[in-house]
């Protein structure tokens, strides 16, 4: 999933900022540390998903865990090799959306975009849910409050990402290294022990609800595929590597594949040997940890490390989805506001959108990892398939030397991930995958509809054509609404006069005496500008001005309304000022075509 | 409480609208129907409050109900006579705030205003809570959902009053007539029956928690004073009467007093005779109704009529508080926004404020009438006292013929209501009255603080002084931020040129190629205006323009930024447009002193 570190690459023309030279780029090992957390943290929920799938056929069926894991590892190997070729062909990175737009056309890229959005949202949800599971394994008292913990974690990630996080990949190195060491330790120590250090598995035997048929195996396989999510991260981030980029990135990809494969097989072997079965509120990984390290401090430390790794994996989506949404906005496929960065270099609307979607999803499934897994891998595997298909198309079009074996590798990868996607969809459809099946086309429709709207606007504004020369118009009439003769009035009239057109002041009064007093005060002041006083028997102050302005603009003359605004020095006084001006501005803007100008006047109180 | 129908009178100089001639004014009988509901509906909770107060001394203590009611009726008589004099002296109406401002000075009027606010909010809360009690007496299934029912009723009242309700008093006539007939019927039929038609009182006897001492009697008296709320309504609405206004209004006031007194004494007598005691979810009035009419259709109809009367009584506050708040806003004692009416002749901020306060209060006491009563009468009685004190001051100052007996009447009224207020405060302090004791001074402080702020602003703006002549300034520089060359750009540049000053266009690009393309398109177009392109390596689009504008305004030159806004025809497309322009406008307005102009461009899509 990780576009997290690929921000810069997704917009490759952005020049590096000061201090962003080659020295800041990653070696292979650094790249591994920085970019693999998303994929590696999948070991926290992937093996567990297999076990949970198989146990429906009773505890005996758990023997199928190891062979299924081996099949998944084979798929991993094909994917990794296929992705080394993606790295070579797309050294600018760019991810499934950019690549499929280039190689497979605009329509297909909509599918890529929609599945990526699903993928990012699910990465956040699954990682937070699995992280909470790990935390609750160490501290059982938390088990009853998983949703709340997830939402707190999500709120923290959102707040951090709204403030803007450092792009530095190096922050992730230590957690990654510790995570690999911890899980590797669980496996190595487990293999060395004759018997688990703590009770593993459960006293209760799981009765068989169904026979261990091919369907059940396929279900367990498709659940286990969630362990493969994240292996595309390195291919998306090639430009963050030090020269020679492609070689370093490929080496990193292979290392990631090897480590992930070892962890998956090692964990599956321990599950197989120790007959680990699902147990209440303790995850399979936590059971294995207890089996290797006992339930002392090392157990707590490992669970906390797993939680941290999953939290950081969730964070990669916050680096990725907002950037993807900004790209979609630039392609007119999402509202332009997702491309907006104001004071901080943060796509805040994308961050908020991701947070809301993830919160919705977590709440809908009550923070259950188990219920999220069926939705999870589909989006990722659609991305896998599209990336590899794009490469096949690339080889077939470009036909460089040795293109055929290369196309074969990517073709095999595409075929396998297609098969996996079909298995995922068919076996998990009723378990939640239908949500994704409904959501992806709806999103594609939305993107297309937005694109059509912007195209229509573009035609209407004649974008790309040279417009006629500026219209020669009569001087503007500047209307200044005023309440009384004061320094504010002086400021407003002076400003209006400096525009150079005609100026007229206008006031509304429901009380003839006050109207007369105002007119007299105006004549005493004598600013050289006419004051029109409108009588408003209904005491409405805004409506009469709107009508006055409409009359003035009625003969086709360009009208600007200059609304003076008193700005208090302290924010808490804002409620005391300007409401009338803001209301007038709002109504003028929604009902008329006049220019509405706000003139600030700063107070010292 | 009822300023409800006094809107026009509170602003006596507003000319009548077409069709608002003498014919629309009220006769005495019409006035009674239109203005008495607030006071008369008090019989739904007043007698009940006495009974609930006395029962702490056991069922036997309920014999004190009748004498306490007679004392309250005596107080009512004094109040009514005193108010006939208020009517004569203040034929323009105006209520306790306006009257005390005139007769007792600005400081005291703050107290009047604060107690009136409390009064209005409590009228809404108590009426809704008591109305729900009446409804739940007829339909016991609703008893568990009183708060929800209250809040629904409140939401309906708020919605209706935000839309704007007719001022027509005649709408209230039928409900009032039916209400008087129903309660009168309960009393007359009850007096004619030898035995109640249904079980009245309760099987369970109430044990005595305390002796029937003087304190308990005072407590019951002060609770019962809630029955007097609303008798000031007619005095506030004298100008709605037909000539001779004063005489008609006085007659109405006397009629109201007589009817209210008869209803109170009649109900108290029935309570006394039939030994009515509090019973679970059935109000005392509902018990009496069942005793007279049985529990057939007449019982349901009467309870529904009582509910309707109380809902309409709650509605009078929606006519009153927003008007009072607009008066306070005009006196600079509340934010001016409470005096704002935009498209409808409705003080929407006042309506919303009242709804929020009432909802808060109802939620805090869980819609319990019993818990609201101790807070209720205090605000009203402060108003009573101030109105009558004002009149005493008036007599002592003006000294017309026979001023002494008149002053004596008002003085006696003021003394009695003062004593009642003191009793209310001392006996109910710990039961909730402390909230009012805290809220009223805090509100007075708030009003005073707001007034001081506006006074400071007035000094700074030199309100009331003739300012110097308009400053002669250099022609304005109009900066037009643009994204591309299009019809929108042509519209914006044409508009800027029509202002008559210097015009410069500005664009931001992070991509040198696109910047070059834009510059070329600009030169092809050649609109006679310079285009500055700002390079923004950080992709921020708004910040560079803000800095550009700050530089341009730096040398003291007047700068206006003209931001073109694309306005889609359909509201649902608004999210797709203008976010950048709005953000730019927002940041410019908060950070700079330049004039910010919004130029609409309406699309056909």
A 340-399 → B contacts, CB under 8 A: 340-343, 345
pLDDT band for position B167 (50/70/90)? Answer: low
B 72-131 → A contacts, CB under 8 A: none
Q: Which of B187, B347, B200 is nearest to B267 (CA)?
A: B187
Lowest mean pLDDT among A262-271, A560-569, B209-218, B302-311: B209-218
Q: What is the C-alpha separation between A562 and B558, in angstroms, rounded?
A: 14
- In this prediction, residues B564-584 reach a mean pLDDT of 83
Query: Are residues B153 and B132 in contact, defined by beta-carbon separation less than 8 angstroms?
Result: yes
Residue A235: half-sphere exposure toward Cβ, Cα within 13 Å: 29
Other beta carbons within 10 Å of B275: 14
b/e map B453-474, b = 16+ CB within 10 Å:
bbeebeebbbbeeebeebeeee
Q: What is the C-alpha separation between A164 and A524, in angstroms, rounded?
A: 56
pLDDT surpasses 80 at A433: yes
- Whether residues A469 and B602 touch (CB distance < 8 A) is answered with no
Using one digit for the tens of pLDDT, what is the confidence trace for A412-426?
Answer: 989 999 998 999 888
SS3 B232: coil
- Whether residues B470 and A493 touch (CB distance < 8 A) is answered with yes
Query: Are residues A87 and A418 in contact, defined by beta-carbon separation less than 8 angstroms?
Result: no
Q: How far is A576 from chain B (nearest CA, A)?
A: 5
Contacts of A549 (CB under 8 A, 6+ apart): A479, A559, A561, A588, A592, A594
Other beta carbons within 10 Å of B405: 8
Cβ-Cβ contacts under 8 Å, A521 against chain B: 466
- Whether residues B579 and A340 touch (CB distance < 8 A) is answered with yes
Q: What is the C-alpha separation between B18 and A531, in angstroms, rounded?
A: 28
Residue with tokens 């309440």: A483
Interface with A, mutate which of B13, B347, B461 (most A CBs under 10 A): B461
Query: Are residues B340 and B349 in contact, defined by beta-carbon separation less than 8 angstroms?
Result: yes
Query: Are residues A307 and A31 in contact, defined by beta-carbon separation less than 8 angstroms?
Result: no
Q: What is the C-alpha separation between A133 and A307, in angstroms, rounded?
A: 8
Q: What is the C-alpha separation between A87 and A94, in angstroms, rounded?
A: 10
Q: What is the C-alpha separation between B188 and B183, in angstroms, rounded?
A: 9
pLDDT for position B169: 65
Cβ-Cβ contacts under 8 Å, A461 against chain B: 486-488, 566
- Whether residues A497 and B340 touch (CB distance < 8 A) is answered with no
Using one digit for the tens of pLDDT, what is the confidence trace for A159-175?
Answer: 988 887 655 667 788 89
Q: Which backbone phi and psi does B3 adopt, to 5 degrees?
A: -80, -5
Centroid of chain to Cα A604? 43
Using one digit for the tens of pLDDT, what is the confidence trace for B62-76?
Answer: 889 999 999 999 999
Interface with B, mutate which of A10, A347, A457 (most B CBs under 10 A): A457
SS3 B567: strand
Contacts of B553 (CB under 8 A, 6+ apart): B559, B592, B593, B594
Interface with A, mutate which of B494, B498, B512 (most A CBs under 10 A): B498
Percent helix, percent strand, percent coil in chain B, to nearest 5 = 70, 5, 25
pLDDT surpasses 50 at A398: yes
Query: Are residues A503 and A496 in contact, defined by beta-carbon separation less than 8 angstroms?
Result: yes
Helix (H) or strand (E) holding A395: helix A369-398
Q: What is the C-alpha separation between A3 and A8, in angstroms, rounded?
A: 10
B471, B513, B597: residue with CB nearest A597: B597
Q: Cis before residue A244, ω within 30 degrees of 0?
A: yes
SS3 A543: helix
How many percent of chain B have pLDDT more than 70?
Answer: 92
Other beta carbons within 10 Å of B56: 17
Q: How far is B486 from chain A (nearest CA, A)?
A: 5
Stronger pLDDT, A135 or A319, i.e. the higher one: A135
b/e map B328-366, b = 16+ CB within 10 Å:
bbebbbbbbbbbbbbeeebbbbbbebbbebbbebbeebe
Q: Which two tokens stand for residue A66?
A: 């190891």
Other beta carbons within 10 Å of A25: 18
DSSP A172-231: GHHHHHHHHHHHHHHHHHHHH-SS-SS--S-SSPPPBSS---HHHHHHHHHHHGGGGTTT
b/e map B171-192, b = 16+ CB within 10 Å:
ebbebbeebbebbeebbebbee
Lowest mean pLDDT among A34-48, A236-250, B112-126, B536-550: B536-550
Residue A249 to residues A26, A31, B7, B279, Cα–Cα distance (Å): 9, 8, 77, 82
Using one digit for the tens of pLDDT, what is the confidence trace for A378-396?
Answer: 888 898 899 889 889 989 9
pLDDT band for position A265 (50/70/90)? Answer: very high
Q: Walk me through the domains of chain B, giving residue ranges and CATH numbers.
A: 7-13+28-454 (1.20.1740.10), 477-602 (3.40.50.620)
- The answer to whether A602 contacts chain B (CB < 8 Å) is yes
Q: What angle do CA B276, B280, B285 make, to 5 degrees?
A: 45
Rg (CA), chain A: 32
Query: Are residues B72 and B229 in contact, defined by beta-carbon separation less than 8 angstroms?
Result: no
- The answer to whether A269 contacts chain B (CB < 8 Å) is no
A495, A573, A589: residue with CB nearest B453: A573
Cβ-Cβ contacts under 8 Å, B450 against chain A: 576
- Whether residues A494 and B470 touch (CB distance < 8 A) is answered with yes
Query: Are residues A305 and A182 in contact, defined by beta-carbon separation less than 8 angstroms?
Result: yes
DSSP A421-483: HHHHHHHHGGGTHHHHHHHHHHHHHHHHHHHHHHHHHHHHTTTTSPPPPPPP-PPPEEEEE-S
Q: What angle do CA B384, B390, B395 make, to 5 degrees?
A: 130
pLDDT for position B339: 82
- The answer to whether A583 contacts chain B (CB < 8 Å) is yes
Q: What is the C-alpha separation between B466 and A390, in angstroms, rounded?
A: 76
**Exposed/middle/buried for residue A209 (C-beta within 10 Å: 0-12, 13-18, 19+):** exposed
pLDDT band for position B292 (50/70/90)? Answer: very high
Contacts of A534 (CB under 8 A, 6+ apart): A506, A507, A508, A509, A544, A545, A548
Q: What angle do CA B554, B558, B564 make, to 5 degrees?
A: 105
Q: How far is B541 from chain A (nearest CA, A)?
A: 7
Rg (CA), chain B: 32
pLDDT for position B320: 83
Q: What is the C-alpha separation between A600 and A578, in angstroms, rounded?
A: 10
pLDDT band for position B103 (50/70/90)? Answer: confident
Stronger pLDDT, B167 or A208, i.e. the higher one: A208
Query: Are residues B9 and B237 in contact, defined by beta-carbon separation less than 8 angstroms?
Result: yes
B 485-524 → A contacts, CB under 8 A: 485-490, 493-495, 497-501, 510-511, 513, 521, 524
Q: Which of A19, A80, A54 is nearest to A230 (CA)?
A: A80
Q: How far is B11 from chain A (nearest CA, A)?
A: 10
- Whether residues B489 and A511 touch (CB distance < 8 A) is answered with no
Using one digit for the tens of pLDDT, what is the confidence trace for B117-128?
Answer: 999 999 999 999
Cβ-Cβ contacts under 8 Å, B17 against chain A: 537-538
SS3 A491: helix
Q: What is the C-alpha separation between B470 and B448, in angstroms, rounded?
A: 34
Residue B599: half-sphere exposure toward Cβ, Cα within 13 Å: 24
pLDDT for position B204: 57
What pTM was estimated for this model as a whole? 0.71
pLDDT for position A102: 83
Residue with tokens 């939402």: A151
Residue A523 to residues A481, A497, A526, B120, B514, Cα–Cα distance (Å): 17, 18, 5, 44, 55
Helix (H) or strand (E) holding A106: helix A95-138
Percent helix, percent strand, percent coil in chain A, to nearest 5 = 70, 5, 25
pLDDT for position A581: 85
Q: What is the C-alpha separation between A580 and A574, in angstroms, rounded?
A: 12
| Chain pair A-B, CB pairs under 8 angstroms | 254
SS3 B368: coil
Q: What is the C-alpha separation between A158 and A567, in angstroms, rounded?
A: 32
pLDDT for position B15: 36
Using one digit for the tens of pLDDT, what is the confidence trace for B417-429?
Answer: 999 899 988 888 8
């Amino acid at each position: 999933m990780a576009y997290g570190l690929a921000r810069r690459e997704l917009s490759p023309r952005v020049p590096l900022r000061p201090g962003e030279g080659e020295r800041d780029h990653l070696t292979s090992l650094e790249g591994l540390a920085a970019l693999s957390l998303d994929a590696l943290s999948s070991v926290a929920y992937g093996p567990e998903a297999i076990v949970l799938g198989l146990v429906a056929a009773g505890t005996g069926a758990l023997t199928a865990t190891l062979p299924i894991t081996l099949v998944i590892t084979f798929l991993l190997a094909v994917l990794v090799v296929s992705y080394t070729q993606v790295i070579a062909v797309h050294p600018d990175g760019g991810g499934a959306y950019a690549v499929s737009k280039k190689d497979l056309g605009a329509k297909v890229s909509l599918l890529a975009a929609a599945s990526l959005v699903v993928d990012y949202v699910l990465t956040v949800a699954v990682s937070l849910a699995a992280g909470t599971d790990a935390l609750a394994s160490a501290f059982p008292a938390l088990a009853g409050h998983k949703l709340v913990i997830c939402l707190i974690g999500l709120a923290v990630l959102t707040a951090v990402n709204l403030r803007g996080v450092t792009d530095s990949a190096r922050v992730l190195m230590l957690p990654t290294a510790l995570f690999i060491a911890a899980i590797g330790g669980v496996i190595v120590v487990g293999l060395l022990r004759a018997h688990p250090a703590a009770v593993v598995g459960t006293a209760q035997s799981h009765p068989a609800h169904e026979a261990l048929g091919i369907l059940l195996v396929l279900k367990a396989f498709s659940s286990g595929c969630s362990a493969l999510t994240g292996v595309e991260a390195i291919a998306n981030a090639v430009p963050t590597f030090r020269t020679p980029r492609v070689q370093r990135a490929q080496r990193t990809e292979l290392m990631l594949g090897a480590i992930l494969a070892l962890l998956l097989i090692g964990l599956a072997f321990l599950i197989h040997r120790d007959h680990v079965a699902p147990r209440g509120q303790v995850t399979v990984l936590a059971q294995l940890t207890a089996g290797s390290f006992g339930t002392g401090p090392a157990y707590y430390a490992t669970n906390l490390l797993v939680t941290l790794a999953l939290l950081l994996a969730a964070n990669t989506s916050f680096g990725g989805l907002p950037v993807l949404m900004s790209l979609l906005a630039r392609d007119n496929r999402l509202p332009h506001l997702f491309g907006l960065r104001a004071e901080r270099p943060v796509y805040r609307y994308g961050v908020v959108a991701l947070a809301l979607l993830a919160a919705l999803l977590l709440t809908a499934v009550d923070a259950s990892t188990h219920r999220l897994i069926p939705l999870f891998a589909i989006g990722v595997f659609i991305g896998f398939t599209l990336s590899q298909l794009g490469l096949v198309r690339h080889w077939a079009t470009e036909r460089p030397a040795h293109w055929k074996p290369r196309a074969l590798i990517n073709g095999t990868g595409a075929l396998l991930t297609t098969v996996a996607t079909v298995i995922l969809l068919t076996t998990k459809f009723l378990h939640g995958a239908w949500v994704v099946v409904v959501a992806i086309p709806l999103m594609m429709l939305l993107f297309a509809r937005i694109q059509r709207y912007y195209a229509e606007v573009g035609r209407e504004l004649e974008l790309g054509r040279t417009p006629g020369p500026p219209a020669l118009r009569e001087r503007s009439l500047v209307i200044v609404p005023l309440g009384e003769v004061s320094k504010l009035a002086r400021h407003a009239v002076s400003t209006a006069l400096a525009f150079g057109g005609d100026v007229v002041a206008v006031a509304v009064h429901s009380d003839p005496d006050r109207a007369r007093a105002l007119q007299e005060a105006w004549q005493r002041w004598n600013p050289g500008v006419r004051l029109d006083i409108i009588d408003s028997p209904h005491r409405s102050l805004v409506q009469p001005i709107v009508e006055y302005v409409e009359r003035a603009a009625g003969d086709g003359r360009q009208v600007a309304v200059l609304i003076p605004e008193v700005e208090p020095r302290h924010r808490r006084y804002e409620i005391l000022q300007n409401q009338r001006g803001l209301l007038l501005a709002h109504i003028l803007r929604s009902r008329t075509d006049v220019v509405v100008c706000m003139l600030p006047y700063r107070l010292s109180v």
